[in-house]
Structure 1
Amino acid sequence: MSANYQPPFTITPKIIRLIADISERLGRMEALQQGQDLRLRRINRIRTIQGSLAIEGNTLSEAQITAILEGKLVIAPPREVQEARNAIKAYDLFEQGQPANESHLLKAHEIMMLGLIDDAGRYRSGNVGVVSGDIVVHMAPPASQVQRLMAELLTWLESTEQHPLITSCVFHYEFEFIHPFSDGNGRMGRFWQALILSQWQPLLAQLPVDSLVFTHQSEYYQAINASTKTTDCAPFIEFMLQVVFESLAESEGSTPPS
Structure 2
Amino acid sequence: MSQQYQPPFSITPAIVTLVGRISEAVGRLTILREQAASLRLRRINRIRTIRGSLAIEGNQLSEAQITAILDGKRVIAPPREVQEVRNALAAYERFDDWNPVVEKDLLEAHGILMSGLIDEAGSYRRGGVGVLEGSHVIHQAPPADRLPALMGDLFHWLATSDAHPLVASSVFHYEFEFIHPFADGNGRMGRLWQSLILARWNGLFADLPVENLIFAHQAEYYEALQESTRQTDSAPFIEFMLTMIFDAVSASVAPDAPQVAPQVTPQVGQLLQAILGEMSREALQDALGLQDRKSFRERYLKPALADGFIEMTVPDKPNSRLQRYRLTDKGRQWLQLRREG
- Provide TM-score, normalisation by structure 2: 0.74
- Distance in structure 1 (CA, Å) of the matches to 2:216 and 2:243: 13
- Distance in structure 1 (CA, Å) of the matches to 2:140 and 2:2: 20
By how many angstroms is 1:178 displaced?
Answer: 0.2
- Distance in structure 1 (CA, Å) of the matches to 2:13 and 2:54: 32
Q: Which residue of 1 aligns with 2:66?
A: 65
Amino acid at match of 2:12: T
- Distance in structure 2 (CA, Å) of the matches to 1:15 and 1:43: 29
1:63-212 → structure 2 map (5 Å cutoff): 63-212=64-213
CA offsets 1:113-171 (integer angstroms, 9 cap, x no match): 00000010000000000001011110000011011100110010101111000000000
Calculate the aligned-residue CA RMSD, in Å. Answer: 1.1
CA offsets 1:189-213 (integer angstroms, 9 cap, x no match): 0000000000001111111000000
Return the structure number with greater relative CO, CA threshold 8 A, min gap 6.
1
Task: Show structure 1 runs of 5+ residues with no match.
Answer: none
Aligned residue for 1:141, secondary structure, equals coil
Q: Which residue of 2 aligns with 1:2?
A: 2
List 4+ stretches of structure 1 deviating above 6 A.
none
- Distance in structure 1 (CA, Å) of the matches to 2:37 and 2:56: 28
Task: Show structure 2 runs of 5+ residues with no match.
Answer: 259-341
Aligned residue for 1:131, secondary structure, equals strand
By how many angstroms is 1:36 displaced?
Answer: 2.0
Q: When the two structures are aligned, how many residues end up with a matched partner?
A: 255
CA offsets 1:80-112 (integer angstroms, 9 cap, x no match): 000000000000000111011111000000000
Aligned residue for 2:41, secondary structure, equals helix
Q: Which residue of 2 aligns with 1:250?
A: 251
Q: Which residue of 1 aligns with 2:238?
A: 237
Q: Which residue of 2 aligns with 1:11?
A: 11
- Distance in structure 2 (CA, Å) of the matches to 1:252 and 1:214: 21
Q: Which residue of 1 aligns with 2:268?
A: none
- Distance in structure 1 (CA, Å) of the matches to 2:4 and 2:206: 30
By how many angstroms is 1:77 displaced?
Answer: 0.1
Aligned residue for 1:177, secondary structure, equals helix
- Distance in structure 1 (CA, Å) of the matches to 2:4 and 2:184: 28
- Provide TM-score, normalisation by structure 1: 0.97
Q: Which residue of 1 aligns with 2:261?
A: none
CA offsets 1:6-41 (integer angstroms, 9 cap, x no match): 000000000000000001111111122212210100
Amino acid at match of 2:150: L
- Distance in structure 2 (CA, Å) of the matches to 1:110 and 1:32: 35
- Distance in structure 1 (CA, Å) of the matches to 2:28 and 2:42: 18
Structure label with greater radius of gyration: 2
- Distance in structure 2 (CA, Å) of the matches to 1:206 and 1:115: 26
- Distance in structure 2 (CA, Å) of the matches to 1:132 and 1:144: 25
